Every structure is written in structure tokens, then in C-alpha cells.
Structure 1
């Protein structure tokens, strides 16, 4: 009896000391399980609008306007230096530049083509030539492509406080 209690105590200690750095949330929808890897603040997957719907909202916004929202979309590109930004497809050859609040978290560098749900603030900004060139360098663009950047650009931006990566 004493040995069984000792064994149970040992198993309890080992299980309770296990550290996880990434959380996974599983949601059932129409008999299918969807797993999410969570980054940044804890967010829920519900009430997210499609990226194409957000693209329409962006078009009616002026530089400096912002809106709190949750968007679901496909990642086109991720910073290959640290994972400190990503570009998400809005459809019609448009993208939203996503940065992470207070550089509090980064995304994996190998998630291009995967779907994400982002919570935060969407806004319209104007990106300087220097900043565009910096992003082009981070993305591994050629010297010719970087030199071709000569004008400020109106861009759609998103400051994410939490992101769910849809795992397949």
C-alpha cells in the first residue's frame, strides 16, 4: 500500500511540473476538430471577419483611421529575420502588414500559406521609402528590387495583440 501511494505521488509530481510554452485550443465545428497554436494575448476564434471583408472596410478608411477587429486570413509572407511581422492576403492582390503589439511575441518563420486569426487594431498608414526598403531587406529581396522603391506607399496595417495559427 505504501509503495502504491509513493508511486502515485511521484507520477503526480512529474505531471504537475511539465512546462508548456505554446498553448493549443481545440474547437469543434461541424464534427471537425480545429487546433490552434496561440501567440500573444489569449483570444477566441469566434466573430472573426474574412480578410476580403476587411479589404472593403480598408478602402473606405483614411490615413490615420483605425478600427478594433478580428480577422481571419492566409499568411503570404513572414519576416525571415525574427518572425517580427507578417503579410496577410486581403484578396485582389492586396495585403495587410501585420506587426505585433510591443514586439511582445513573434510568429514562426515557416507559416506562409497557413491561415491565422488575428485580434487587434486595423489602420491605414503611409509607409516611408526607408521603412519599405527595410521590410524588403527583411524579406530577402534583391538589391534591384530594393532600389526600385522610390515613393511613400499607402498601406493597410494591423497591430495584433493575439494570433491563433490554424494547425492542420
Structure 2
């Protein structure tokens, strides 16, 4: 009986240690700081709205409305000419067209699918046909796709003064 009790205590101690190791690993993972590459003005990711929450704000805005904001979203496309704009996914089928304040910085052209934090001014505007065609050309669209652009389009826009690109 004493051997059984001793064996039982040993097993409990081993299991307890393993559980403690798992808890420690989980805490370390949760506290691990996210690494970012920074572009433009120095910003942080504090108080940034997730894309789905930002979509709600955009939906309540009309052409001409603007708000200072910070958001986290995935990149859908980047200007393939020089990285002078990007489109972000709002997770509701909509996109945000992001330009960079005073063309003060550009983004890498190969970041589609990566997560960014942007800081600046969110607004709703109407983009004329010639500007839409210019963006389509920058994105590498075919002449046929560009020719299909025939009407101004209401868009969700953002002028970013700073961007953080999540490093993996």
C-alpha cells in the first residue's frame, strides 16, 4: 500500500509539473510582443480597431465625412508601380483604399495577405472614372477590365500618416 501511495504521489507531481510548463508556455505566447516594420510616422497598435469594427463606422458615414482613426486589417492589393497605395479588406466584402500622407512613404509591393496597422484619417469619397482607371492600371488590370470602368464610385478611403507591417 505504501508503494502504491508513493507511486501515486510521484505521478501527481510529474503531472503537476507538466501542467505548469504548459501554463508557462501559454503565458509566454500571450505576452509575446508582435514585431512590426514601421513606415511613415512612428505609431503603435494600441487602440486600433479591427477591420470588421471599422466597417461599421464606414457604413454610417456619407460622402465628405471623415474621422481620425487607427485600424488593423489584411492587405488585399498594393500598387505594383511603386507601392504608393494599398487596398485593405474590411471583412464584409468592402475594401478601403489607403494612400500615404503627402506621398511621404511607400509600402513594399509584395505584402498582399499580410496584416497592417494604419493610422490617419478615414473618410468616404466619390472616385472619378479616370482615377479608378489609373488605380486599375497600377494594379496590373487588363485593358478590358479597365475599359469596364465607366461610372464614379463611392469608396471607403484612408490617408495614412503611419503604417505598421506585421512581421512573421
Work out whether the TM-score is over 0.5.
yes
**Matched residue SS, 1:34:** coil
Q: Give the length in aligned residue pairs.
A: 141
* Counterpart position of 1:66: 66
- Structure 2: where are the runs of 5+ without partners? 1-27
CA distance in 2, matches of 1:162, 1:81: 20
CA distance in 2, matches of 1:70, 1:152: 27
Q: Which has the higher helix share?
A: 2
- Report whether the alignment pairs 1:86 with 2:114: no
Q: Which has the higher strand share?
A: 1
- Report whether the alignment pairs 1:76 with 2:76: yes
Name the TM-score, length of structure 1 as normaliser: 0.82
**Matched residue SS, 1:150:** coil
* Counterpart position of 1:50: 50
Deviation per residue, 1:95-145 (Å, 9 max, x gap): 000000000000000000000000000000000000000000000000110
Name the TM-score, length of structure 2 as normaliser: 0.82
- Structure 1: where are the runs of 5+ without partners? 1-27
Stretches (4+) displaced over 2 A: none
Structure with greater Cα Rg? 2
